């Protein structure tokens, strides 16, 4: 039974979404922990109420995509994400969400060209929605694609725009930390070591206070990216600092284990992140003649097999 103050339609729910988000954002910016906890309780209550509503065609398609991913049905997941995109073409934020997850799927199975196309479509959708912080995150994703391809000059264009769109205040510390780590990686590829170290130092000041927030996937992911960037800096030293790199990759693995155990994250991505970090740790251990490298490679292969993927090539 609905009470008189219960939203009767989707538009009312969207208004309430915005109000709840504003309450939480205000509490974060005011650094009021008690208010943050109260705001989060209101958010969870709102989510529980919305679960009783009939899901939209977009949500149904997204849920089906997640179910397909859990069953390693990559083609089924791809088709479902495409249905979600077609279902709400006039709502750019929903299009961006579906395109972004489709990009993640393509990246998972090694279809890099298609992943880039989906990322670009997601970025364009966030521009249409006029959501600066979401556009910044999407641009960072495109930059990371080019860094992976060792095209730091192309990545730099996206990184610069991503920084231009960042907003100030504690509410945006996480996305700023992501951007700083990403720029540090770009500096590292360009052999600008001091600039890379400066960005990592700044990012650490934002990330370290949340190191013990084990339930927060965003902060744990930021910390894992920070340690991975630090590991790469050690490898670019002359001569390469393999022992220091090993220590960093151990930190990455620790954060990835935390993330892989978070129940709110679904699908194969959290496990693939752990498998990748174990593989990198194994390579670093191999370089210093540590026999435990074999254990890392074996666990990485086992995880990849468990999610229907071939082992990483070394």
Map out the domains of the chain with their CATH numbers: 211-314 (1.25.40)
pLDDT at residue 39, rounded to an integer: 63
Structure tokens at 190: 């360009």
pLDDT at residue 37, rounded to an integer: 54
Alpha-carbon distance 258 to 204, whole Å? Answer: 19
Q: Over the stretch 196-215, which tens digit does the pLDDT of each residue have?
A: 999 999 999 999 999 998 98
**Nearest Cα residue to 235 out of 225, 226, 246:** 246
pLDDT at residue 34, rounded to an integer: 57
- Work out the widest C-alpha separation in the chain, in whole angstroms: 70
Alpha-carbon distance 283 to 132, whole Å? Answer: 38
pLDDT at residue 19, rounded to an integer: 73
- Low-confidence stretches of the chain (pLDDT < 50) are 1-14
pLDDT at residue 127, rounded to an integer: 95
pLDDT at residue 133, rounded to an integer: 86
pLDDT at residue 11, rounded to an integer: 42
pLDDT at residue 7, rounded to an integer: 36
Q: Over the stretch 55-99, which tens digit does the pLDDT of each residue have?
A: 789 999 999 999 999 999 999 999 999 999 999 999 999 999 999
pTM: 0.85
**Nearest Cα residue to 79 out of 91, 94, 61:** 61
pLDDT at residue 182, rounded to an integer: 98
pLDDT at residue 15, rounded to an integer: 58
pLDDT at residue 48, rounded to an integer: 54
């Amino acid at each position: 039974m609905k009470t008189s103050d219960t939203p009767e339609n989707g538009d009312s729910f969207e208004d309430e979404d915005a109000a709840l988000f504003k309450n939480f954002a205000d509490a974060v910016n005011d650094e009021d922990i008690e208010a943050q906890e109260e705001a989060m309780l209101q958010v969870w209550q709102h989510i529980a109420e919305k679960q009783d509503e009939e899901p939209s065609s977009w949500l149904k398609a997204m849920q089906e995509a997640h179910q397909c991913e859990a069953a390693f049905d990559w083609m089924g997941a791809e088709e479902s994400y495409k249905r979600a995109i077609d279902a709400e073409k006039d709502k750019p934020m929903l299009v961006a969400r579906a395109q972004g997850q489709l990009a993640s799927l393509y990246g998972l199975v090694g279809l890099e060209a298609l992943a880039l196309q989906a990322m670009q479509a997601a970025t364009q959708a966030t521009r249409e929605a006029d959501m600066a912080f979401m556009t910044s995150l999407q641009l960072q994703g495109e930059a990371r694609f080019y860094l992976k391809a060792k095209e730091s000059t192309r990545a730099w264009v996206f990184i610069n725009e991503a920084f231009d769109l960042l907003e100030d205040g504690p509410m945006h510390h996480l996305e700023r930390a992501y951007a700083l780590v990403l720029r540090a990686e770009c500096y590292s590829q360009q052999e600008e070591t001091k600039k890379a170290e400066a960005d990592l130092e700044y990012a650490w000041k934002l990330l370290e206070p949340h190191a013990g927030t084990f339930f927060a996937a965003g902060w744990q992911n930021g910390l894992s990216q920070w340690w991975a960037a630090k590991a790469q800096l050690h490898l670019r030293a002359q001569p390469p600092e393999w022992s220091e790199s090993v220590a960093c990759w151990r930190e990455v693995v620790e954060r990835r284990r935390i993330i892989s155990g978070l129940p709110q994250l679904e699908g194969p991505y959290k496990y693939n992140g752990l498998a990748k970090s174990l593989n990198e740790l194994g390579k670093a251990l191999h370089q210093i003649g540590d026999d435990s490298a074999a254990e890392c490679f074996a666990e990485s292969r086992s995880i990849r097999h468990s999610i229907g993927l071939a082992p990483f090539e070394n």
